[in-house]
Amino acid sequence: MLPRTLEFNTWLSEKKCRKLVDNLTKKHFTAVYCATAQEASDYILAQAQSAHSIGFGGSLSVADLKLTATLADRGKEILNHGFPDLTPEQRVAIMKRQQTCDLFLSGTNAVTLDGCLVNIDGNGNRVAAMIYGPSKVIVVVGRNKIVEGDVCDAIKRVKDKSAPPNAMRLGKQTPCATTGFCCDCDAPQRICHITTLIDSKPSQTDFHVLVVNEDMGL
């Protein structure tokens, strides 16, 4: 049995996750509640059966599901620009291929409880593939990404909790990668160049959102 505090917190976060699923569904996304990350993994593997090429947007939420080897073993073409030992030219080529892959997998930096996906990118390749191009997009959303507020609150969440550790993870020479705090810098390696708001399902994209009752990603 779960400890009582964890039990009540899990119950509360489930209510929040399910409310988000309802609101995303009203905005015409295919929204699915997943009690665990394993459920999200199983869903993705099922959806990937008919896909030949699968793009990875660089999300820790997706990386933590450890799907790459399983999908590769099933004969899928893996388009992951985060693989080590790639040349800069190879990375760019893979990012361009992701724009037209059969299935694109990503996380989101934040999502408002009323169903607006908020993301901030450095290059824009991830958010571009989320919006248009791939035959199917699946976004994995951990409960820690849900913001009970408006878009401004979601952007603040990205700046405060997502961008600094991501800059550090990527080895960027930015103030936030050292201090852990955003100062809205103009550093050459700044990773906050493009901000996108997906307020409802893009009209020509088969867009799935998996809302997971676990903390996932940054």
- The tens digit of pLDDT for each residue in 127-179 reads 999 999 999 999 999 999 999 999 999 999 999 999 999 999 999 999 999 99
Residue 3, pLDDT score: 83
Superfamily of the domain at 4-142+194-212: NagB/RpiA/CoA transferase-like (3.40.50.10420)
Strand runs (DSSP E) across 7-135, as ranges?
Answer: 30-34, 53-56, 77-80, 103-107, 110-112, 117-121
Please give the C-alpha separations between residue 201 and each of 16, 56, 128, in angstroms, as whole numbers.
Answer: 20, 20, 14
* Domain assignments of the chain as residue spans, ordered by start: 4-142+194-212
**Model confidence over 76-127: pLDDT tens digits?**
999 999 999 999 999 999 999 999 999 999 999 999 999 999 999 999 999 9
pLDDT band of residue 1 (cuts 50, 70, 90) is low
Residue type, 215: D
Residue listed under structure tokens 């991830």: 126
The b/e string for 120-153 (b: 16+ C-beta within 10 A; e otherwise) is bbbeebbbbbbbebbebbbbbbbbbbbbeeebee
- In the chain, the percentage of residues whose pLDDT exceeds 70 is 99
Q: How far apart are CA 75 and CA 71, in angstroms?
A: 7
Overall average pLDDT of the 11-32 stretch: 98
Instruction: Tell me the two tokens of residue 106.
Output: 């990503």
Please identify which residue in the block is written with the tokens 């699946």: 138
